[in-house]
Structure 1
Amino acid sequence: MENTYVISDVHGRYDLLKEMVDECMNLNKDTLILLGDYIDGDAKSNSYLTLQYIYQLTKKYKDHVIVLKGNHEEWFCHFVLQYSRVLKTYVTPEPSTIQDFMTPYDYNELIHSAKRKSKNYAEFVDYINEMKRYYLLEHHKELIEWLNKLPLYYETNDEVFVHAGINFVLEYEDLWKEISDENDFLMDFPATIHEQFPKMVISGHIGTSQVKQDAAFHDIYRYKNRIFIDSTVIESKRLNLLKIKNHQYYQIKKNNNEWETLPVLDYFKYEE
């Protein structure tokens, strides 16, 4: 049985993602599952390079790379495509994220053009947003259409992989997909732990420091039938890598430039 690897909340850190893929896995035989939120990072991030890299992985390793949508991708696609909102909370994509898709020259030209056309700030905002949408669709339509069609969950015999969470009603286990909606899959917060759900639910979206209630904690966190990957790459400056092999769960961490494999503890049992 080959390995399954899980990463979430890359937030533009293409460099950290590529390092893990290059050094920790063989996608000719292993499986990589990405749980969403690939964009909207900090000064070290590049959302476009991250999405383009992931998109190329799906082409090169078609049967071995599974990519799910996160709430940041949903917000980005809504901004560009202007369809009806499906999430209760809406946030406009970071300006730096959209800027990552453009050359510096094109971005400056877009700003100057919007200023020339507008009579006030409100008009400027409308113009600049419309120009950004036009530019993104003109230059990156294939990538955006792929992003918009990403699935919201992935299910195996033992696990459900999702960006944020699921909804679940006891005695109706098989109906969780019908009961859950986009706000469950993409925005579940604070994290809901359905202790009677028969599968392990593996997600990102939330900082594990919040789940564990320990501000210094940024590792993978397991509690009963939930595994949280962590979403705080901007703060922690690292990504977490979950490895699944023979129904066991491990965290892959770099220590003194060497990758080490550690079991993921069930903190419900560990803390008792």
Structure 2
Amino acid sequence: MKNTYVVSDIHGRGDLLKEMVDECMDLKEDRFILLGDYIDGDEDSNSYQTLCYIYDLSKKYPNHVIVLKGNHEEWLAHFVFQYPRILNTYVTPEISTIQDFMTPYDFIDMTNEAKRKSKNYVEFTDVIKEMKRDYLLTHHKELIEWLHQLPLYYETENEVFVHAGIDFVSEYEELWKEISNENDFLMDFSATIHEAFPKIVISGHISTGQVKHDPSFHDIYRYKNRIFIDSTVLVTKRLNLLKIKDNQYYEVKKNNDHTWSEKLVIDFAKK
């Protein structure tokens, strides 16, 4: 691979993601790793279109695009398929996320039908949840099944890529995959990883400002052998892009004149 690019926590901003891909990458030569949380955004987001774009990229460049699962994807898959819970914390997918998967007319018809079938608000809540599940399974089963089966991590010679974090025991670092579980991969507070872990661990999930204890900070942040890239897109309206080339790690940013520049984050040989 020529370069490796990494992004996380897109939260429905497929427009920002597509801009990065079009202007910064050549996916015929570069590798692109996405670390999860593609859905559940704000008024500027579209979760369905974002998922479709990522799914299409993964099919077009199957050897170059690696898509990992985030906790928001796990919550949506659980909502649809109703399998036993694997995470300690669960949140119902946002109403706007479900609406992104259907036309406004379908949503209005669904709401009216749920009202007709319900005697009170409690019944309405149960009925419309089941109708939403049926709709997603009927119209988007392939996409939701793909999302449900996304891997939880990706490992290279020098790095571990994951949505949230991993667990390990000192002196048994090579057993991290056996020790870690879904709550580590998808929900861990990433800064708890100790510098003794032998690889660079690259993750999203927690905003870089939270890791740095500076709410005004949203750039890529290095902490010991960790690189955090969650830009808090719903606040900043931008995504952080990490570039890896020749064992060096760069933050790629768009300038005011619409050009892109790079800043060295860490040299692996000097970590």
| TM-score, normalised by the number of residues in structure 1 | 0.96
Residue 151 of structure 1 pairs with residue 147 of structure 2: no
Percent of aligned pairs sharing the same letter: 75
Aligned AA (1:65): V
Distance 1:109 1:123 in 2: 17
Per-residue CA shift, 1:159-181, capped at 9, x if unaligned? 00000000010011111001000
How far 1:189 moved relative to its partner? 2.0
Counterpart of 2:262 in structure 1 is: 261
Residue 11 of structure 1 pairs with residue 11 of structure 2: yes
Per-residue CA shift, 1:147-197, capped at 9, x if unaligned? 000000000000000000000100111110010000000000263122110
Residue 191 of structure 1 pairs with residue 191 of structure 2: yes
Counterpart of 1:123 in structure 2 is: 123
Listed as ranges, the matches of 1:18-97 within 5 Å are 18-97=18-97
Per-residue CA shift, 1:220-253, capped at 9, x if unaligned? 0011110000140001110000000000000000
SS in 2 for 1:28: coil
Distance 2:185 2:65 in 1: 20
Listed as ranges, the matches of 1:222-261 within 5 Å are 222-256=222-256, 257-261=258-262
Distance 2:190 2:181 in 1: 16
Q: Is the 8 A contact 1:36 1:68 kept in 2?
A: yes
| Aligned length, in residue pairs | 268
SS in 2 for 1:242: strand
Structure 1, unmatched stretches of 5+, are none
Listed as ranges, the matches of 1:98-117 within 5 Å are 98-117=98-117
Distance 1:193 1:186 in 2: 14
Per-residue CA shift, 1:45-83, capped at 9, x if unaligned? 000000000000011111000000000000000000000
Structure 2, unmatched stretches of 5+, are none
Distance 1:230 1:106 in 2: 34
Distance 1:86 1:185 in 2: 11
How large is the Cα RMSD of the aligned pairs?
1.3
1:229–1:190 CA distance, 2 compared to 1 (3 A)? closer
Distance 2:215 2:162 in 1: 24
